[in-house]
Homo-oligomer: A and B are copies of this chain.
Amino acid sequence: MVLRTMGTQLRFARNQTIFNEGDAAEYAYTLKSGTVRLCNYLSDGRRQIMQFLFPGDLFSFMELDGHHLTAEAVGDVVLSCYPHRQIVQLGAQNPELGMRMASLMSQRLHAMHVQLLLLGRQTAMERIASFLLSLKERMGANEDELFDISMSRQDVADHLGLTIETVCRVLSKLRRSRVIAIPNLHQLRVYDTDALRALAERGD
């Protein structure tokens, strides 16, 4: 992408806020390393994580009138930022690039639809199985290959509309039935991807 040549690097520490919902949106970002969460808060503190971002992901490039979401660093994070006006100008001038951006938006929208179905109509087991599969895919891990879960149990819970306890219980159940292994808190191995796929569709 054209942008790759420009941009200033920024660093954020674990749990630091990158921007808040409602802030003026002056920059678009690409994530260089680490994991970012995009979330919404209710006034009483209830939180919903809309999306986790991983290295390579572009975000906040189409927020005309201020950020709709809060962005926070899950672990330590490095990202590049680009003045917003620049992006918009480029998009307007270069139809090719404008289309790329529109396509990215469309992808996002589709991902949100999938998540909506998950939150509205799927069980705890289905949600967690789906999440583990998508994480495994995103991490490019093969069968039996270990991959990192950078986010906390609470983050997972707030992404899937569950409590931290339910997340733990379901993970334990998957571990007991030898579908996954959790050698340490932030790493996971999937032994039986097909079983997980079945659980993602049919629950228990």
Contact = CB atoms under 8 A, between A and B. Distances in A.
A83 interface: no
A2 B194 CA distance: 50
Sorting the interface of chain A by its residue count into under 10, 10 to 19, 20 to 34 or 35 or more gives 35 or more
A22 to B, nearest CB: 12
What DSSP secondary structure best describes chain A's contact surface?
helix
Interface of A: 40, 42-44, 46-48, 50, 62-64, 68-69, 88, 91-93, 95, 98-99, 101-103, 105-106, 108-110, 112-117, 119-122, 158, 160-161, 201-202
Given A92-B99, A93-B95, A119-B119, A113 B68 contact: yes
Nearest to A88: B99
Each complex incorporates copies of this chain amounting to 2
A54 B162 CA distance: 32
- 8 smallest CB-CB distances across A and B, nearest first, come from A120-B161, A119-B119, A92-B95, A112-B112, A48-B120, A48-B117, A46-B121, A105-B105
Contact of A68 (B50, B103, B110, B201): B110
Contacts of A92: 95, 98-99
Nearest to A162: B120
A136 B29 CA distance: 37
